[in-house]
Each structure stands twice: as structure tokens, then as C-alpha cells.
Amino acid sequence: MNYSIVDNAIQTLKTDSICIALYENKTLCDEGQALDKLVNSQISQAIAQFDIDHDLGKSFFLPVQSEHCNSVIILGLGDKQKLNIESLGKAFSALATQAKSAKIKEL
């Protein structure tokens, strides 16, 4: 499994899966909002339909139909103001577990 952190515009990515952050009040990060537009609101619809949890370290695997990716991992980060190294470590651990169980080749 290959992981990479990129600073490219979400519109230019082509990968197996993309991880996006979900903050409290079910607010998507900026990149998540941009990706949601590219995938015809599949992400926001799933958040509403499946009551996806925004709590720190919670994750949700969502297959999508897109030229940019085959799936999205929605990663709960909770309160944006309370994020720190320790809480990010917990979240990234949950991300790794989710990616491994979904057999994602490139994230």
C-alpha cells in the first residue's frame, strides 16, 4: 500500500482512494467540499444518509464513481480547534486501519 501527502488541487488527482477530513457539525474540510462537487455530492449525501460520525478517529469507507478516485475515506477529526499532534496520531491510526481493511493500494 502506498501513501502520499500531496498539496495538489483535488481536481488533478487520480488515485485509488482519497482521505478527507470531517469536523464537528459534519463540516467537510475545504478539499472535501471540492471533491464532493466533483463527485456530484456523493459524499455529502452519504454523510446525511448514513449519519457518518465526525468524532476523532472515526472513519467511513465510501466507494464513489469518479475519474479522480474509486473511493473516499471520510476521517473524523472532531473539533478543529482542539487538534494537536496526539489527536492527529489517533486519527491517522484509524485511517491506516481503514485503508488496510479496504485493501486500498494507493491513498
Residue identified by cell 488515485 is 15
Rounded alpha-carbon distances, angstroms, from residue 51 to 25, 35, 74: 11, 19, 12
pLDDT at position 21 is 96
pLDDT in tens, the chain (107 residues): 566 666 677 888 888 999 999 999 999 999 999 999 999 999 999 999 998 989 999 999 999 989 989 999 999 999 999 999 999 999 999 999 999 999 998 88
pLDDT at position 89 is 94
Cα distance between residue 29 and residue 100, in whole Å: 23
Instruction: Return the closest-CA partner of residue 61 out of 5, 30, 12, 103.
Output: 103
pLDDT at position 24 is 94
Sequence-ordered alpha helix ranges (H) in 30-84 = 30-38, 42-50
